[in-house]
Amino acid sequence: MDRRSLICTLAAAAAVPLAGEARAAATVAAGNLSNANATAEARALYRYLCLVSQRKKTLTGQQTSTWDGETGPELERIETVTGELPAIIGLDFIDPLTCNVTIDRAVGWYKNQGGIPTICWHWGNPLVGPGYDQSKIYFDIWDALKPGTRENVAMMADLDRIAGYLGDIQKQGVPVLWRPFHEFSGDWFWWGKGGPELFKKLWVKMYDYFTTEKKLNNLIWVLGYTGEPSEKYYPGRQYVDIVGADTYVKDHGSLKALYDRVVAIAGTDMPIPLHECGPIPDPDALTADGADWAYFMTWCYEFILDGKTNPDDFLKRAYTSDRYISLNEVPPFTQFS
């Protein structure tokens, strides 16, 4: 099937119920969001992601340095080399001074470009302050989950602030692939230092606060493992919409073994992304190996800008392949309502 035919096929298939059985432990039917009150825009986007995944296609994605101008050097290089732009852009609430830029870019990418925004949060230790280095400073999650403690007060203040940003996006009718606590199964960020049980409690706390109290219904919740996925960290299908993993390898392999480890945890009733990577997987390898990543997202700066991690000839071949879906191939999401 050629690339344009894929768009027509996906649109026509929107009215067809998704196949497949939910896992025995799941509480949410395949193809449905965990939040029963999800906005129409979030439901349509999720349905599209499920259909892309079901048809063994892969959306292109690129993390951007949102503070480096309106477009950013990452997207400029991709467009210059390939003539294409990624379907998904990655953004970050890492710095309060740039969060308004993040909001504007998420809204603009969806409403003006017809693309998909995903947002992560390098959450600095709530008792210390924002920033990447601060996100690696130990924070006592146990005490933070006890109402009234100084850790709890600081944590809830941060959650309230971020909920406000996400609410601003929701008011403009824009859904978000929300990817908090990324790489939680590692021990470098504070949210991963407490082990799986505290992490799951923390995830559920944010989920309940955002969906129940703050009424953030535009979020598609993305659980992002490292390269060592474990069932111990899985909070349950009722709190998760997408489960993925990331790893930074030296080649363009399919990462089939990693994909299979995620599927063993999450099952096949949801999209499975490579939510961060350095080298873009070879699209032919994905097809040959059956590594059906729903999307990939190359990290920013040198991973896309050095011309070595993803050389020009490979980058162009990837972005123009039949396997990968770039921005100009993404249909209007209203077709999937």
Beta-carbon count within 10 A of 63 CB: 25
Q: What angle do CA 52, 89, 76 make, to 5 degrees?
A: 120
| pTM score above 0.85 | yes
Of the pLDDT bands very low, low, confident and very high (cuts 50, 70, 90), residue 1 is: very low
Going from N- to C-terminal start, the domains of the chain cover 41-331
pLDDT tens column, 22-79: 332 344 667 899 999 999 999 999 999 999 999 999 999 999 987 666 678 999 999 9
Looking at per-residue pLDDT, the higher value among 71 and 101 belongs to 101
Assess whether pLDDT exceeds 50 at residue 320: yes
pLDDT at residue 93, rounded to an integer: 96
pLDDT at residue 72, rounded to an integer: 83
Phi/psi of residue 19, each to 5°? -85, 170
Mean pLDDT of 126-134: 97
Q: Is 200 exposed, middle or buried (0-12, 13-18, 19+ CB in 10 A)?
A: middle
To the nearest whole number, what is the mean pLDDT of the chain? 91
pLDDT at residue 3, rounded to an integer: 41
pLDDT tens column, 250-309: 999 999 999 999 999 999 889 999 999 999 999 999 999 999 999 999 999 999 999 999
Which tokens belong to 228? 């060592």
| Nearest Cα to Cα of residue 205 among 136, 214, 119, 245 | 214
Helices (H), 112-221: 141-144, 150-171, 196-208
pLDDT at residue 21, rounded to an integer: 28
Assess whether pLDDT exceeds 80 at residue 135: yes
DSSP H/E element including 100? helix 99-111
Which CATH architecture best describes the domain 41-331?
A: Alpha-Beta Barrel (3.20)
| Nearest Cα to Cα of residue 220 among 165, 273, 261, 179 | 179
Strands 58-59 and 88-92: unpaired
Strands 88-92 and 61-63: parallel
pLDDT tens column, 143-177: 999 999 999 999 999 999 999 999 999 999 999 99
Entry field: residues in the chain: 337
